[in-house]
Amino acid sequence: MSHFPGLFNYWIVIFLMMAGFYVVISQGNLVKKIIGLSLFQASAFILYISEANVDGGHVPILEEGITLYSNPLPHVLILTAIVVSVSTTAVGLALIVRIKETYGTVEEDELQEIDNAQDEADTPDQKQQIAEEKEI
């Protein structure tokens, strides 16, 4: 296991990623799902930044007498990704707020039940009735 310390970062990243993934697929509350997605996202950030690191490297700001720097490219990618992630998370949360206002719940099971009940209620007769009402 000569690799152990060198790969430890990646394994933690995988653990965090799977923790986020687990929240997304197993829990019913939509807000919690978004938090799970954010955990997942943050683990990807850690992966990139770990990759950018160089042993004995220096912060990538030029200084006299220093020649070994960490890789600035992943830093740039992740810096912008963090700000994009907050905007996209906000869009997800906004959708959840509207779902709550329309359905009165943010639990996936209940949403499914309400939807199924609506589908069953929509017999052809009722649909025709609604269409007629709209025409009037």
Partner 1 sequence: MDIALLSMLSITAIAAIRLRDLFAVTMLFGIYSFLTAAFFLTLDAIDVAFTEAAVGAGVTTVLMLATLRLTGRYEQTPKHSPLIPILVVCITGAALVYGTLDAPTVGDPEAPSQTHVAPRYIQQSADEIGIPNMVTSVLASYRGYDTLGETFVIFCAGLAVIIILGLQDSGEIHPGRSAIGDQLVLRVVIKMLLPFILLFALYVQLHGDYGAGGGFQAGVIFASGFILYDLVFGEGDARLIIPPNWLRRMAALGVLLYAGVGVTTLIMGKNFLDYSALAESPTAGQHLGIFLVEIGVGITVFSVILTIFFAFSGRARIAVKTGRGGS
- Chain positions 116 to 135 lying near partner 1, rule: CB under 8 A, are none
Q: Between 2 and 123, whose beta carbon lies closer to partner 1?
A: 2
Q: Between 98 and 134, whose beta carbon lies closer to partner 1?
A: 98
Candidates 37, 44, 65, 70; binder of partner 1 (CB under 8 A) is 70
Q: In the numeric block, which tokens belong to residue 100? A: 């709550």
Least distance in angstroms from the C-beta of 71 to partner 1: 4
Candidates 37, 44, 65, 90; binder of partner 1 (CB under 8 A) is 90
d(CA 57, CA 95): 43
Least distance in angstroms from the C-beta of 13 to partner 1: 9
8: Cα separation from own chain's centroid: 24
The closest of 20, 15, 17, 18 to 33, measured between CA atoms, is: 20
Determine the angle formed by the axes of helices 108-121 and 72-103, rounding to 10 degrees: 50
Q: Decide if residue 71 touches partner 1 (CB under 8 A).
A: yes
The closest of 91, 115, 74 to 37, measured between CA atoms, is: 91
Q: Decide if residue 91 touches partner 1 (CB under 8 A).
A: yes
Least distance in angstroms from the C-beta of 70 to partner 1: 4
Residue 31 buriedness (CB in 10 A; 0-12 / 13-18 / 19+): middle
Interface of this chain with partner 1, residues 14 to 53, rule: CB under 8 A: 14-23, 25-32, 34-35, 38-39, 42, 45-46, 49-53
